[in-house]
Structure 1
Amino acid sequence: MNKINIIYWSGTGNTEKMAEAIKKGIEEAGGEAKLLKVSDANISDVEEVDKIIFGCPAMGQEELEEMEMRPFMDEANKKLSGKKVALFGSYEWADGEWMKTWEEEVEDTGATIVDTLIAYDSPNEDALKECESLGKDMARA
């Protein structure tokens, strides 16, 4: 089964819109996607799949959200070795350094990064199409 879990944190709804577009792409490519806010996810949602997508906007000094997403990733990183992973999120300042740092963190677990995607502010139509493409790429990976 080509099942992919999408676990994300969204404060303003931008990352949630991206997650929904990624889910659409997965399903259009014949995959099965489960969309989970990080507050509703648990570590079994990471363990039960070979492919997983995480989403979080840049926060603070270009960091992951620290109350829910950061603690979840600290646990999830222990379970990512051998999995195919994609990362996404939005930002409104700086240059997207948080995504580069996050990608390196996940690669260090032994996971394979299939793709990363960042959108400036509220994702426009082009950014949402890129999200759908990311979903299709993950379904085919």
Structure 2
Amino acid sequence: MTNLILVFASMTGNTEEIAQLVGKGVKEAGVNLTIRELPAGEPKELEQYDGILLGSYTYGDGELADEFLDFYDDMDGLNLDGKMAAVFGSGDTAYEQFCVAVDILTEKLQELGATIVQEGLKIELSPEDEELCINFGKSFAEKVKEVKAII
């Protein structure tokens, strides 16, 4: 069975709503899913899963969510070779840097050896298009299942 982990941080509830919809898509694909809302969860846990989904809001003018800072720093040294990953997040276009947390987390996952299998999902504030979020999760889960079946 394919096992995925979804780790997210949410301050206003927007990213939590996205995470729930992404999770719904993963489950529709028939994949096991573990969800951790920060500060719960340890980075080392990421190594135990076939696929990794990270979600964060972007704070202010392009900063990673406060709840993600320790987790992000503690990811150093992980070996994510062979892991597939994708990132989602919420942001506000009123700021010059829109949804930069998605880019920051994507780069970190790549540095640690993970393969990014789909472009990050960037949502303005809260998800108006629920299907977009559901399909993001479902598509990710299908890609991980497909690769796992080949191995």
Shorter-chain TM-score tier: 0.7 to 0.9
Match of 1:122? Answer: 126
- Note the C-alpha offset of 1:108: 2.1
Tell me the TM-score normalized by structure 1: 0.88
Q: For residues 81-100 of structure 1, give each alpha carbon's deviation from its aligned partner in whole angstroms, at most 9, with x where no partner exists.
A: 33111111100133333433
Match of 1:7? Answer: 7
Match of 2:105? Answer: 102
CA contact (8 A) 2:64 2:104 kept: no
- 2 CA distance for matches of 1:47 and 1:100? 21
- 2 CA distance for matches of 1:97 and 1:109? 19
CA contact (8 A) 1:20 1:35 kept: no
Q: For residues 14-34 of structure 1, give each alpha carbon's deviation from its aligned partner in whole angstroms, at most 9, with x where no partner exists.
A: 000011001100111111111
Tell me the TM-score normalized by structure 2: 0.82
How many residue pairs were aligned? 138
Moved over 6 A (4+): none
Deviates more, 1:36-45 or 1:115-124: 36-45
What is the RMSD of the two structures over their aligned residues, measured on CA atoms? 1.6
Match of 1:69? Answer: 68
Match of 1:35? Answer: 35
- 1 CA distance for matches of 2:19 and 2:100? 20
CA contact (8 A) 1:8 1:54 kept: yes
Deviates more, 1:110-119 or 1:38-47: 38-47
| Identity percentage of aligned residues | 32
- 1 CA distance for matches of 2:36 and 2:122? 19
Structure 1, unmatched stretches of 5+, are none
